[in-house]
Chain A
Amino acid sequence: MTGKTLLGGVAAAGLAVGVAGIGFADIRTGDSLVINGDLAMITEAPAPEFLQDRVTTIYSGWVFRTDETRAMQADDFDNPAMLYAEQGLTAFETAMGSEGKSCASCHENAESLAGVRASYPKWDAEHGAVQTVEMQIIECQTERMGVAEPYGYDSQAMRNMASLIASVGRGQTINVAIDGPVAETWAFGEEIYYTKYGQLELSCADCHENNYGNLIRADHLSQGQINGFPAYRLKNANVNSVHGRFRGCIRDTRGETFAVGSPEFVALELYVASRGNGLTVEGPSVRN
C-alpha cells in the first residue's frame, strides 16, 4: 500500500502551506511521544508480517490526535487517566475477599506486572482459553482471593485496575502471540474484523484499514489500535475499556453489538492487539 503512504505525504505537504487536507488521508508522522520527558514511545512501526500486503506502517492512535490532546498524554500530571490508575493502585493494595488478601499479597507491587499489557490477550493453559487482562483479574479474584462478587468486566473498578496495569507497562513493545494454541481464536478475530456490520454495512477494516487518515465527519480516523488502552476520552471524562470502544464502533454502524467480555470480543481483541505488534504500550492514553 505505497499509495496510502504517498497520499499521507501529499496531504501533509498541503497542510504545511495552510490548506486543510479534507478528503485526503492526512497523517502527521515524524513527531515523537516522550512521556514525562524520559519514556520514549514507538508511535509508528513497520506493520507485522501478516498485515504487510494491506498496511505497510502501523500508527498509534496518538498520531491522529490534535496537538492539545497529544500534549495531555505526554505528562502524567496532565493525563487525567492517571487519576484512575491511582485509584487502581489503592485497590491493588487493599484486601478483598474471604482469603483476606490484596493483589499485592501475591504480586508484590504493580510493577511486577509490567510485562502483562504488552503480551495480552494470551493463552491460559490451565483454562484452555485465550484470556484478556480483565479475565485474568477476575480469575485471581474468584480462584485465589475468595471474592464472591468480582469486578464487572467493564466496571469502573476494573477499568481503574486495567489502567494501573497498562501504566506500569508503558514503553514495552507489544508482542502478542498469534500462533500455536491461540491460532484458532486469532483467525476468528480476523474474520470479525473483516465482517460488515449494521445498517451501514461497515467492517472495522472499512474505517480503520482503508480510511485511516481520512476524516469521518469531524473525527480523524486512526488505525483503531488498542496499544493506548484503557483510553481516557475527553468525550466522557473517564477511562474506557477496549471492549467498550469496540461496542461503540459497532453501534456507530447501527448494528447490534457483541457484549463486553464475549468470546467474539475476546477474539477481536487478540486480533486487533496483534495488528499493533511493534508499537509500544501507551495506556492509559488520552483520546477525544
Chain B
Amino acid sequence: MAENVVPRVRVPRDASAGESVSVRTLISHPMESGMRRGSDGNLIPRQIINRFTCAFNGAMVVDVEIQAGVATNPYFQFDAKVDQSGSFEFTWYDDDGSVYTETAEIAVA
C-alpha cells in the first residue's frame, strides 16, 4: 500500500436549490507511473489511482478513468448542480486494490 494516502474534499456547506456548486478534491498519492527506473536500474512498478468517482445521493456525478501520466497528488475540481440536500460520496481506486472514500454533506434551501 502506498503510504500517507489521504483523501480530502471541499464542498460548500449550503446552497440554494438548482445552484451549481464548486467541488474540489485531492488525494495524496505518489502516482508512480511505472515508467521510471530506481537507482538499481529496474523499473519501479506502476502504482496509481486509476479511477475516481463522485456520486450525489447515489447518482453518479463524475466517473474518471485515470492514466499513468497524471501527476502526484491528483486534484479534481468540477461544478455540480444540486437540487436537494444530500451527500456527495467520493471514491478513489488504487492499482493495489485499495479503495479510499470520503463524503461531504450539503444543505440545500
Q: Which A residues contact B (CB, under 8 angstroms)? A: 77-78, 80, 83, 86-87, 237-238
Contacts and interface: CB of A to CB of B under 8 A. Distances in A.
Contacts, number: 19
Contacts of A80: 72-73, 75
Contacts of A77: 8, 10, 24, 26
Contacts of B8: 77
B71 interface: yes
Contacts of B28: 83
A237 B10 contact: no
Contact of A237 (B4, B6, B24, B72): B72
A164 to B, nearest CB: 14
B24 A83 contact: no
A80 B71 CA distance: 12
B26 A237 contact: no
Size range of the interface on B? 10 to 19
Nearest to B9: A77
Contacts of A238: 72
A86 B27 CA distance: 13
A17 to B, nearest CB: 33
Nearest to A238: B72
Contacts of B71: 237
A238 B72 CA distance: 9
Nearest to B72: A237
Contacts of A86: 6
A87 B28 CA distance: 11
16 contacts: A77-B8, A77-B24, A77-B26, A78-B24, A78-B75, A80-B72, A80-B73, A80-B75, A83-B28, A83-B73, A86-B6, A87-B4, A237-B71, A237-B72, A237-B73, A238-B72
Interface in B39-63: none
A87 B26 CA distance: 15
Interface string B20-40: 000010101000000000000
A77 B26 CA distance: 8
A194 B30 CA distance: 39
Contacts of B24: 77-78
Contacts of B26: 77, 83
Contacts of B73: 80, 83, 237
A171 to B, nearest CB: 22
Q: Please provide the 7 A-B residue pairs with the shortest distance between their CB atoms, ordered closest to farther.
A: A237-B72, A83-B28, A77-B10, A80-B73, A87-B4, A77-B24, A237-B71
A237 B72 CA distance: 7
A181 to B, nearest CB: 40
Contacts of A83: 6, 26, 28, 73
A241 B24 CA distance: 28
